[in-house]
Structure 1
Amino acid sequence: MKLKNNVLVTADWLKSHLNEPFVKVVDATYFMPGTPRDALSEWKGKRIPSAEFFDYDTRICDKPSSLPHMLPSADTFSKEVGLLGIRNEDTVIVYDTAGIFSSPRVWWMFKVMGHENVFVLDGGLPAWEHANGEIDTSEPTRVEPTNYQATFDQTRVIDKSQLLEGINNGTVNVIDVRPNERFLGLVPEPREGVRSGHMPNAVNLPFAQLLEAGKFKSAETLKMLIESALSDSKRNVASCGSGVTACILAIAAEYASGDVVTVYDGSWTEWGSDHELPIVSGK
């Protein structure tokens, strides 16, 4: 199944296609550290029918890394996605229980791993419930594993050394989607040992400005918001706190104008922790 649409589906679309054999749904819910909620337990108790839980924080990630939920290898991704019963030819629909928060991260992960037909449910579980979509509260059942094969796409991700080189030679344009007070270094970072401020020459576009009532704003509005932050001549790179909300900008850019925005996976958790890397505080 191939959608002519860009990257989002509506709850009504999913209701019409949920039972088709090539449609696979994953719950990408993630809660920030310190939040007294457990995403896996909540999925077990309440989910869109047939949805599998996509744990990118502790399972489908680079486990040896000291940084949170870094991208896994293509081999690890292939194995874990295969265990979710997903095939390369499937149309994957990703949602989260906040509306739009962590689901774009999983959309981006699939894109990095070469999966073309992956989409985010705009508005997530709240939109599904608002549309009177069916909810499954039964005990989850095991699925039949598949032989999924990922193909890593280097254009969608950038690491620390590549980003530093790009900043130094002026070939990257960093868009930091953290709140403005964090970007300016006016408040402490939530993670211990991480400096406050931003990368040299970065621009700030808080991800919350792209959303309204748990959904993306219209493509026209997003295009106006994003255009001034993107560069026509440099590689556009989205960064955030730990690589989650940067993906909201990445998917919004593709939705609004078809622009591919690279994501800095380590984001400010990595950059702000390395005292050898340059930072700027204030405007």
Structure 2
Amino acid sequence: MSDLAPSLSQAPVGRIEPGFLVDTDWLAANLDRPDLRLFDCSATMHVDPVIQQRVHPERDAFEAAHIAGARFIDIDAQLSDHDHPVHLMLPPREAFASAMAALGISNDSLVVIYSTGNIWWATRVWWMLRVYGFDHAHILDGGLQKWRAEGRPVATGPSAPPAPGHFTASAPRALVADRQAVLAAIGDAGTRIVNALRPPQYSGAEAPRKGRPGHIASSVNVPAASLLDPATGCLLDDAALRAAFVEAGVTPAQRVVAYCGGGVSASLVVFALTKLAHPDVRLYDASLGEWASDPTLPMQIEPA
């Protein structure tokens, strides 16, 4: 399909925000679209006594119940740079393109992603696609939890292998921040560094999985979970999202660099701000996995 926009506007049921969200009504009405590629990328982060953190793909849960037609993405195994010293980093351009093609994604596909538990595993995949020039990826608002709460059917067992896609990744967009960019942002009035972790992790009251406690110097806290409706798991509406960022001191004129422990939950901050048309939002991909492990990089702990 060479032009997705007209077909999206003609969807008969439900809501779609091109490049951002689809609701469960829209997905149910469009499961048979030939260009649809639906994915569950659920995972959990576990503390490991050796490497201290480990991503566990929730493939068993997927095979127990998933939306019909969905395929599973193992983010750690399929969409990470295993040659990088920091865990779970964005893969290089050609490796990413090969992974997308192997998943059955082509440049004219319409991609919908969901995750059980934490939505930020889905927004992590959305962000990677965005980095490499693909703007037709969407998050299922409320995820599998909302789908099942509405009594919609689920499938079981493994999915069939996809037919290979034809995916070309563009040169990376300026959506990724490295440690030098973060260092330059500290104390810069034109940049706001946003920490997406829970308040006890941000303050330093809770011990981290690795490295030093606390947050990057001068960063503010917008917990990723605070951007969701706790009753439904859906993203807050635009007005509530704007209010959350304004309360944290984020203004439209500022460049934003978001981070967390491993570049996953902060992807929801990036998603929300991009949805609000914030002009310059980047993800510090290495996040505290790199920063908190280097004693030369400035961190702060909030007073008790």
Question: Structure 1-normalised TM-score?
Answer: 0.91
Alpha-carbon offset, residue 102 of structure 1: 1.4
Distance 1:219 1:169 in 2: 27
Indicate the residue corresponding to 2:117 in structure 1: 98
Which of the residues 54, 59, 62 maps onto 2:78?
Answer: 59
Question: Deviations 1:120-143 (Å, cap 9, x if unpaired)?
Answer: 001110111223333111442111
Distance 1:62 1:36 in 2: 14
Q: Structure 2 counterpart of 1:267, which letter? A: S
SS at 1:154 equivalent: coil
Indicate the residue corresponding to 1:134 in structure 2: 153
Indicate the residue corresponding to 1:211 in structure 2: 228
Indicate the residue corresponding to 2:41 in structure 1: 28
Q: Structure 1 counterpart of 2:212, which letter? A: R
**Farther-moved stretch of structure 1 (89-98 vs 259-268):** 259-268
1:195 and 2:212 aligned = yes
Alpha-carbon offset, residue 44 of structure 1: 2.8
**Farther-moved stretch of structure 1 (165-174 vs 82-91):** 165-174
Distance 1:232 1:218 in 2: 17
Question: Deviations 1:162-221 (Å, cap 9, x if unpaired)?
Answer: 2213326555310111112221212211x23x1011112111111121112322122211
Distance 1:168 1:20 in 2: 49
Distance 2:242 2:87 in 1: 30
CA contact (8 A) 2:114 2:122 kept: yes
Q: Which structure 1 residue ranges, 5 or more long, are not aligned?
A: none
SS at 1:103 equivalent: helix
Alpha-carbon offset, residue 279 of structure 1: 1.0
CA contact (8 A) 1:99 1:125 kept: no
Question: Deviations 1:83-104 (Å, cap 9, x if unpaired)?
Answer: 1111111110010012623111
Distance 2:255 2:241 in 1: 19
Q: CA RMSD in A?
A: 2.0
Please give the residue correspondences for 1:221-260 in structure 2 after superposition, counting only pairs within 5 Å.
221-228=240-247, 229-255=249-275, 257-259=276-278, 260=280
CA contact (8 A) 1:122 1:216 kept: yes
Alpha-carbon offset, residue 36 of structure 1: 11
Question: Deviations 1:48-105 (Å, cap 9, x if unpaired)?
Answer: 1221212221221101123221100110110011011111111100100126231111
Q: Structure 2 counterpart of 1:198, which letter? A: H
Which of the residues 196, 201, 213 maps onto 1:182?
Answer: 201
**Farther-moved stretch of structure 1 (95-104 vs 80-89):** 95-104
Q: Structure 1 counterpart of 2:97, which letter? A: S
Indicate the residue corresponding to 1:173 in structure 2: 192
Question: Structure 2-normalised TM-score?
Answer: 0.86
Distance 2:61 2:55 in 1: 12
